[in-house]
Amino acid sequence: MDIATIIGIVLGMGAIIGSILLMTPDFGMFGSISSFGIVFGGMIASLAVAFPLKDVLALGTAMGAVFKGVEAAEVGRKGVADLENHVGNINSFFFRDGAQMVVDGYSLEELTEILNTRIDYRELRENTQAGLFKSMGTMAPAWGMVGTLIGLIVMLSGFGEGGTDALGGGMSAALLTTMYGAIFANLFFLPMAEKIKTRIVFSSTMQNLQVEATRLIHQKKHPIIVREKLNSFVPPKEWKKEDS
């Protein structure tokens, strides 16, 4: 589990609920099925027009992926340290494949090209997920505004009848939709798109390091050069020292 995501959502909901309770005990005023319906329904509708059906249906999976933690990192780094001895029991799927290709006698160019193509197209596929959340983050406020406009139009067209007193309540209800859209976008969808992007960069750094490691095994380079080359991918304070 990625606890940061959980903490963030709990903290965000707390900030919203807390600030409401400071102002009014009447919390029910902020619940509105119709506001939720137009923001969420409209957003899903825009998504269905914008993306292939199978990507929209995979939204649950993508959402789940945001909550799952990342464990690949440590494995990658550890595997790199003594990779010349234990090619057999490597945990990283991607790295084991590369090591296997060395054993199978692929040329250095073929090996590099195959692994790099794999990284490029994995990035491309994962960017679609990030794009899905990004679209949700721009569509939610847009539909929030549409909902508020509908509310205002209904309210204003009946302006003369209810008197000025009815104005406040109607406007309050209309603004609710804008608020729903803003919260959905800024607490959930935009940050989730960001997290997926951060992870794509992280995975690619790890895999580039593993491609380099595979190339170095293939070239049978001296261990010190191997260490220097692989160190260049990670921050100085995490470097493998001579005697480790």
Q: Which two tokens stand for residue 205?
A: 């750094």
Residues 195 to 224 in contact with a second copy, rule: CB under 8 A: 195, 198, 201-202, 205, 224
Residue 63 vs 81, nearer CB to a second copy: 63
Using an 8 Å Cβ cutoff, are 185 and 154 in contact?
A: no
User: How many whole angstroms separate alpha carbon 83 and alpha carbon 29?
Assistant: 61
User: How many whole angstroms separate alpha carbon 164 and alpha carbon 172?
Assistant: 13
Judged by CB under 8 A, which of 62, 130, 147, 217 binds a second copy?
Answer: 147
Residue 85 vs 93, nearer CB to a second copy: 93
Site membership for a second copy, residue 108 (CB under 8 A): no
**CA distances (Å), origin 143, targets 134, 151, 179, 209:** 15, 12, 11, 43
Judged by CB under 8 A, which of 20, 58, 59, 63 binds a second copy?
Answer: 20
User: Of 26, 24, 28, 46, whose CA–CA distance to 184 is shortest?
Assistant: 46
Site membership for a second copy, residue 52 (CB under 8 A): yes
Q: Which amino acid is at 209?
A: L
Site membership for a second copy, residue 102 (CB under 8 A): no
Residue 81 vs 146, nearer CB to a second copy: 146
Site membership for a second copy, residue 1 (CB under 8 A): no
Judged by CB under 8 A, which of 46, 59, 75, 102 binds a second copy?
Answer: 46
